[in-house]
Amino acid sequence: MHYRIPMGLLAMVLLTGCQGFPPTPYTAGQEEGEETTCDEAIPTLKESHCLLDAWVDFGLASQRGDREWRESTLERLQREDSRSRLARAVALSWGTESQWDQAAEILRADLHTAPSDLQPLLSYWLNELEGRRAMGEKIAGSEAERQALAAENKELADKLEALTAIEQSINLRQQSP
């Protein structure tokens, strides 16, 4: 009988399992003293709970950033490590059309160096960038075709004007006795 209360408490503790303990931060894979911060201006490639969020935020900042922001960010990303190269590619992908080629080249070359959780996002951005590049090439081709057609139209209009002048000249000669 004296064992009823302790046995009841023991059963209750066993049934609640780990939920009965206070939560502790997940630190598997992190060295002692090493912390992952989620508010860095340039996201890291370290596996963390905020890896995707940090890269999405950086992508949005790149999209919204102006030329001055992009230039200052690119100056900070001059190193040749994977993090700098991938971040540089994201920043360049929202730059001028001439920077798109460089961004696509970097993304293709370094995509495999990104953590597996980040690779689908970077692949999506690469595909989106390729789509913009293809659309830009299509627009450039259409513009060249439009200019060629405008030149041909002007040439035909000049010929028509010359033929009209010849016709008027012939009509004037026939009217004069």
For residue 148, pLDDT beyond 70: yes
Judge contact between 127 and 113, C-beta under 8 A: no
Q: How confident is the model at residue 28 (pLDDT cuts 50, 70, 90)?
A: very low
For the cut 60, the answer to whether the pLDDT of residue 29 exceeds it is no
Residue 75 lies in a domain: yes
Task: Say if pTM beats, i.e. exceeds, 0.75.
Answer: no
Cβ-count burial 33-61 (b if 16+ within 10 Å, e if not) = eeebeeeeebbbbeebebbeebbebbbeb
Residue 164 belongs to some domain of the structure? no
pLDDT for residue 48 is more than 60: yes
| More confident of the two residues 33 and 94 | 94
- Flag whether 84 is in a domain: yes
Residue 64 lies in a domain: yes
Query: 30 pLDDT band (50/70/90 cuts)?
Result: very low
pLDDT classification of 150: cutoffs 50, 70, 90: very high
Residue 78, φ and ψ in degrees, nearest 5: -80, -15
Is there a domain that residue 41 lies in? Answer: no
pLDDT of amino acid 49: 86
Q: Domain for residue 4, yes or no?
A: no
**Tally of structural domains, the chain:** 1
Alpha carbon separation from 142 to 66, 76, 131, 146 (Å, rounded): 28, 38, 16, 6
Task: Write down the pLDDT at residue 134.
Answer: 92
Report residue 25's pLDDT band, with 50, 70 and 90 as the boundaries. low
- Where residue 24 falls among pLDDT bands split at 50, 70, 90? low
Residue 22 domain-assigned (yes or no): no
Q: For residue 82, give its domain range.
A: 49-147
Residue 166: inside a domain: no
Residue 31, pLDDT score: 45
pLDDT in tens, 122-132: 999 999 999 99
Q: How far apart are CA 139 and CA 11, in angstroms?
A: 72
Q: Which amino acid is at 71?
A: E
Arithmetic mean of pLDDT, 135-144: 91
Q: Which tens digits make up the pLDDT trace of 101-114?
A: 999 999 999 899 99
Predicted confidence (pLDDT) at residue 67 exceeds the cutoff of 70: yes
